[in-house]
Structure 1
Amino acid sequence: MDELFKGLADPVRRQILELLLQQPLNVNQINEHFSDISRQAVSKHVSVLEDCGWIRIYQAGRERYGYLNKTAFYQLKDWLQDYLNLDQRSLKNDHGVFLERTTYKKGSPLTYPVMLQAMLSKDKDFDTLFYNAVKTTGIFCKPSCSANPRPDNVIFYANRDEALKNGFRACKRCKP
């Protein structure tokens, strides 16, 4: 994977891939699209793309043509697939925490990872199911509260009374 990302790291190399998406081109044809860099620099970028596996080169007479290597694109797709399959609803939160719907089913016992992800993603669906208390401030909140405590400072409680009994006070932002 590192080699694939190395190939994509430079904008010139990404532009070359876009050019080759249309049709195989030789280095001179690729160079025509880059008036601001030298032919040697374009050749170097083509070599890097070949070394990284993004393109293949074939010799046709004196010309060397570059064409896209499908295998590299499928490798990248396979790597990304787990991320692309995540619940689309969870992509809307501000924190980038992914909580799959299959992770928690209503009525199931809440696990620490589910509660932590719900708190980090500010998921309102969990507001009545548990409360998070912050050890350093002595405050407890709903999982959807706009406060951003450090995860290692948080204790989870099943209900308000339990949090109050343990010496925490209700948050003035979310009013749990």
Structure 2
Amino acid sequence: MDELFKGVSDPVRREILALLRLQPLNVNQINEHFSHISRQAVSKHLQLLEDSGWIKIYQAGRERYGYLNKAAFYSFKEWLDSYLQWGERSLENDHGVFVEETAYKKGAPLSHPVMLQAMLSKDKEFDGLFYNAVKTTGIFCKPSCAANPRPDNVVFYITREEALKNGYRACKRCKP
């Protein structure tokens, strides 16, 4: 996977992939699209794309043609799908965190990572299952509250009473 990322890390290489998406091209045709860089630089980019598996080069007489290697794209898609498999539910409140649905089953004990992910993603499904208290403000909230505390300043409580007993007051914004 590291090689695949290395292959697409440069904008020139991504542009080469975009060109080859339309049709296989010979090296001279690819060079024509990059008048701002030398032929040697384009050749190095092509070599790196081939080494990383994104493209294949085949020799036809004196001409060398580049074409996309579908296997690399499917491998990259498989890696990406492992992050996107949880559906589009989190697109409404996208806070950069994926809450894996299989990580928590209703009624199961909540783990710290699940509570943290639910708080960061503002997941309303966890409202009432736990409360997050912010040490620096002395306030506790629902997981879906619009407040954005630093994760290292948060303590989780299963009940409101537990948070109140430990000296936290209820948030006036989310009214837990």
Structure 1 residue 89 displacement after superposition? 0.7
Checking the alignment, whether the CA contact within 8 Å between 2:83 and 2:98 is kept in structure 1 is: no
| 1:131 counterpart residue number | 131
Checking the alignment, whether the CA contact within 8 Å between 2:86 and 2:101 is kept in structure 1 is: no
Alignment of 1:143 with 2:143, yes or no, is: yes
Tell me which amino acid in the other structure corresponds to 2:100. Answer: E
| 2:13 counterpart residue number | 13
Q: Structure 2: give runs of 5+ residues left out of the alignment.
A: none
Distance 2:107 2:53 in 1: 49
The SS at the match of 1:161 is helix
Structure 1 residue 73 displacement after superposition? 1.6
TM-score, structure 2 length as denominator?
A: 0.87
Q: Structure 1: give runs of 5+ residues left out of the alignment.
A: none
Give every structure 1 segment of 4 or more consecutive aligned residues whose post-TM-superposition deviation is greater than 6 Å. none
* Alpha-carbon displacement from aligned partner over 1:101-149 (angstroms, at most 9, x marks no partner): 3333333333332222211111122222221112232211111112222
Alignment of 1:73-152 (within 5 A): 73-152=73-152
TM-score, structure 1 length as denominator?
A: 0.87
| 1:45 counterpart residue number | 45
The SS at the match of 1:132 is strand
Structure 1 residue 14 displacement after superposition? 1.3
Quote the sequence identity (%): 79
Distance 1:49 1:107 in 2: 49
Q: CA RMSD in A?
A: 1.9
Tell me which amino acid in the other structure corresponds to 2:9. Answer: A
Aligned length: 176
